[in-house]
Chains A and B, each alone.
Chain A
């Protein structure tokens, strides 16, 4: 799984692996076979690479029905594949008559008819509404587990990457920022971009060394202590669930509540500078009306410090 913000080079990367781009530098090899070596002018055409490429919106041929779409890849009828993906009853349907989930199944069946050695999926949920999104994601997750094929999937949503992949690579401006398990990315992000992608709050400030770590004076007022040593301008990242509400008078950092909502058993409190996730039990203890000023606190170990570098 590859995840990264828009324009980070995800699609270009997939297209390069598929053989659809002509990069000036780079090397792509699969199982010892060189598919691309820009320096040595080696470039295998897409039709000779055996990849199962699913572009955004799946790229089904609108002028062919489902069976013909699948037949296109292997040049023969594949009732077994239609059966396996539960689309036999749709074999005479045109792609534009199908739902998002059905389209994905047709596209996967077609890719498999090619007998690919690697699956390349580009934003498989890009065009789906939230409800379909969940359903299609679960379906894809099951299918991928069953297929046992090496899969490279790119998405801009961290949640999708974690739901589908064991190892997630974070792309940022064409550069692979970090490759790790989802939980590793959350706990130990390599940089501020990775942290932001996993849903952390980013704050700018200036660090001054303290007895144990550093004290960060934030832009817009307030300070937070971090266990990490740092000096000078920094960015800090804190996950919403690592922040705690505290008494406004005694806290070193205060903020004003913008909105409060429930999300799957958690309370999501949006403030002007950060978002905080709390257990609903806290609700009864304090008044959480929008406009209220509250204190914020975080364990110094959870306050990650990064260079001021890139800004999202």
Chain B
């Protein structure tokens, strides 16, 4: 109530502080609005480009239906391959320390930073008819380029590093002690992986799989170079957007909207998966009474 003169001068001026804070809040708000606007506007533009019934009827166009079929089939196969082979591979890379491990990890991650078009070109000169392995393969009667198998290969090549990276991190995060204890309790390597490492890494694996799946659905560059864009055979949704761009913009936009919804669904699934996985066993409250009633049901 009675501030002496010198100490009053040292104290921060309340009104300066308030103006500064208001300015900061306003500036932050403006930046956020601009950022969200920039990110959301194209989505809004795509969705509102044509009247709703046109949009829905364009979903049913032959090109769209074919592209949906190709996308679903190739991505389902590619996804299965990635998870089936990638999971044990990631487990070994995360759990074992061997000479050259970091080189292997770097090689695995290389496709992440490689331009997809270069990946497609690489696949073509490796497996194409005139390619490195293609010679041998075509002698055996196998022609990979510009087939659905090529689409699957392109997707696996481009998307699997996303899964591997996430899966290695997920397995890395599992406490080694728990796996060791499982061993002393009589569990062999397979049981240690399936009963301990996999369930504990589950959330991270799911999130990594979702990212890889989303990357696979959106795959464009490698596919168009290695597999081409043939409707009903190798034309995926992403390729159809590009293919229709000149011919029928309304249909291209409709497929674009479809891809937005698919991506949003994948993102949402991965978020839900990660959080529900954790909360299912990380809750800390427990009362025996409550639980026994629960168990009787």
Contact = CB atoms under 8 A, between A and B. Distances in A.
- Do these two chains really belong together in a complex? yes
B288 A72 contact: no
B291 A92 contact: yes
Interface residues on A, range: 20 to 34
Contacts of B196: 61
B103 interface: no
A89 B183 CA distance: 27
A131 B53 CA distance: 71
A174 interface: no
Contacts of B178: 59, 61-62
A295 interface: no
Given A55-B180, A63-B199, A89-B292, A97 B285 contact: yes
B295 A110 contact: no
B177 A55 contact: yes
Interface in B164-210: 175, 177-178, 180-188, 195-196, 199-200
Interface residues of B, number: 27
B18 interface: no
A53 interface: yes
Interface string A57-90: 1010111000000001101000000000000011
A93 B184 contact: no
A72 B195 contact: yes
A49 interface: yes
Contact of A72 (B175, B187, B292, B295): B187
A173 B292 CA distance: 50
Contacts of B200: 61-63
A59 B185 CA distance: 11
A45 B183 contact: yes
Interface in B35-70: none
A134 to B, nearest CB: 24
A20 interface: yes
B227 to A, nearest CB: 41
B201 to A, nearest CB: 10
Most A CB contacts (10 A, CB to CB) among B186, B195, B294 go to B186
Interface string A20-55: 100000000000000000000000011101111101
B285 A47 contact: no
B281 interface: yes
A91 to B, nearest CB: 9
B284 A59 contact: no
B184 A53 contact: yes
B96 interface: no
B291 A47 contact: no
B185 A94 contact: no
Contacts of A61: 178, 182, 196, 200
Contacts of A15: 180
Nearest to A97: B286
Interface string A291-311: 000000000000000000000
Contacts of B294: 92
Contacts of A73: 185-186
Nearest to A54: B181
Given A47-B188, A89-B288, A92-B295, A97 B283 contact: yes
Given A61-B196, A63-B199, A89-B288, A96 B183 contact: no
Most B CB contacts (10 A, CB to CB) among A20, A59, A114 go to A59
B206 to A, nearest CB: 14
A95 to B, nearest CB: 9
A57 B181 CA distance: 12
A45 B186 CA distance: 9
A18 interface: yes
Given A61-B178, A61-B196, A72-B195, A97 B187 contact: no
5 interchain residue pairs of minimum CB distance: A97-B286, A46-B183, A59-B181, A53-B184, A73-B185
Interface of B: 175, 177-178, 180-188, 195-196, 199-200, 281-286, 288, 291-292, 294-295
Given A47-B188, A72-B187, 20 more contacts: A20-B183, A46-B184, A47-B186, A53-B180, A59-B180, A61-B200, A62-B200, A63-B281, A72-B182, A89-B288, A90-B288, A92-B292, A92-B294, A94-B283, A96-B281, A96-B282, A96-B283, A96-B284, A98-B286, A114-B184
5 contacts: A47-B188, A59-B177, A62-B282, A73-B186, A92-B292
Interface of A: 15, 18-20, 45-47, 49-53, 55, 57, 59, 61-63, 72-73, 75, 89-90, 92-94, 96-98, 110-111, 113-114, 120
